[in-house]
């Protein structure tokens, strides 16, 4: 088989922001099948075929980013009308939803059979959620050192959860891609291990290309293909080097506390031409990466109990 005849899989790493949609559309256009990073949702097929409107579909869809989801629906409906195959593929979340339904119907944790896939997903989610709750508790009542330790503990559990998510998704993708010559895989930016998992499962006759969807914007703003936040770097460290300890982990955790307070989280849709979210991420990362441990400790004491808007006011006032 020649290089030109190789099956092509493109992993499109992106955030769920409206500004990423035109860039994702460029990548999707040259592929036969699009695999979204979503569990199967009611009404999805009817939305694609225009049996129901996008607004009707969204009414029954729980989404953190409604404007992005609306824009993505418009995009993939257009791709579907051009003959593309489109699937929602996120087994971990799909299984997690089944677990929630199981509990809602009166099921209990002791009824989940050990060493099954359901059990593994339940345990991974339980550990990560438990560590997150421990962090929230520490952030309200503990000193800075204990809060940083809680951040690291959550990142470890989150890394384990991401690894399982990526393994399950790679398994599902492997089963779907056989009939198609070119496949676009939507993925969150932190799922870097998905590339490794797919490479492990697919033979050398499959070309797998990871792409950061917003790469051209990041290069314009920073000169780099992509910039990860301190918290993402911490989690990726535990994914790829779980046994390696380093003083750097403490500073990453401390910076992540400031970053998460400063970052603009609401959807910004009034100035998409300027890529506001990517610009905000790059600028915020640049600022927090300049902070020392002592800087973070002081700043967190000032902003821990205030809103993000107020935290940004305090931060910029202290940086003058």
Mind listing the pLDDT tens digit for each residue in 70-82?
999 999 999 999 9
Region 130-136: mean pLDDT is 97
pLDDT at 3 over 60: no
pLDDT value of residue 4:
52
pLDDT value of residue 5:
67
pLDDT at 143 over 60: yes
Region 200-224: mean pLDDT is 93
pLDDT at 294 over 70: yes
Question: 266: which residues sit within 8 A by CB, 6+ positions away?
Answer: none
pLDDT digits (tens, 9 = 90+) for 88-99: 999 999 999 999
Region 143-172: mean pLDDT is 98
CA pair distance 182, 22, nearest whole angstrom: 19
Question: 47: which residues sit within 8 A by CB, 6+ positions away?
Answer: 53, 54, 56, 57, 73, 77
pLDDT value of residue 1:
40
Domains of the chain: 3-93+168-222 (3.40.1010)
Region 185-212: mean pLDDT is 94
Q: Where residue 320 falls among pLDDT bands split at 50, 70, 90?
A: low
Region 14-38: mean pLDDT is 94
pLDDT at 273 over 90: no
pLDDT digits (tens, 9 = 90+) for 252-272: 999 999 999 999 988 887 776
Q: What is the pTM assigned to this prediction?
A: 0.93
pLDDT value of residue 2:
46
Whose structure tokens read 């070119």?
Answer: 182
Q: How much is the mean pLDDT over the chain?
A: 93
pLDDT at 45 over 90: yes
Q: How many CB atoms lie within 10 A of CB 93?
A: 18
């Amino acid at each position: 088989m020649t290089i030109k005849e190789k099956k092509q899989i493109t992993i499109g790493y992106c955030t769920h922001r409206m500004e990423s949609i035109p860039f994702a559309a460029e990548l999707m256009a040259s592929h036969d099948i699009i695999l979204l990073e979503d569990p199967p949702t009611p009404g999805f097929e009817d939305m694609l075929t225009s049996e129901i409107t996008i607004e009707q579909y969204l009414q029954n869809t729980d989404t953190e980013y409604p404007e992005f989801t609306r824009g993505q629906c418009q995009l993939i409906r257009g791709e579907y009308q051009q003959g593309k195959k489109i699937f929602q593929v996120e087994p971990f979340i799909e299984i997690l939803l089944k677990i929630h339904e199981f509990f809602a119907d009166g099921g209990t944790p002791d009824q989940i059979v050990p060493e099954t896939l359901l059990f593994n997903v339940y345990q991974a989610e339980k550990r990560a959620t438990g560590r997150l709750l421990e962090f929230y508790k520490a952030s309200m009542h503990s000193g800075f050192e204990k809060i940083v330790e809680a951040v690291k503990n959550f990142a470890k559990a989150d890394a384990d959860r991401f690894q399982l998510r990526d393994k399950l998704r790679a398994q599902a993708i492997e089963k779907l891609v056989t009939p198609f010559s070119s496949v676009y895989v939507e993925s969150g930016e932190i799922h870097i291990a998905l590339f490794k998992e797919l490479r492990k499962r697919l033979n050398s006759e499959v070309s797998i290309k990871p792409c950061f969807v917003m790469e051209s914007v990041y290069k314009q703003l920073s000169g780099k293909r992509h910039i990860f936040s301190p918290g993402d770097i911490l989690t990726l460290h535990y994914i790829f080097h779980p046994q390696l300890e380093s003083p750097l982990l403490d500073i990453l955790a401390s910076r992540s506390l400031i970053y998460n307070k400063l970052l603009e989280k609401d959807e910004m849709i009034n100035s998409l031409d300027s890529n506001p979210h990517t610009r905000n991420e790059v600028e915020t990362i640049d600022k927090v990466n300049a902070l020392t441990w002592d800087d973070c400790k002081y700043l967190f004491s000032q902003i821990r109990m205030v809103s993000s808007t107020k935290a940004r006011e305090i931060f910029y006032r202290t940086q003058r």
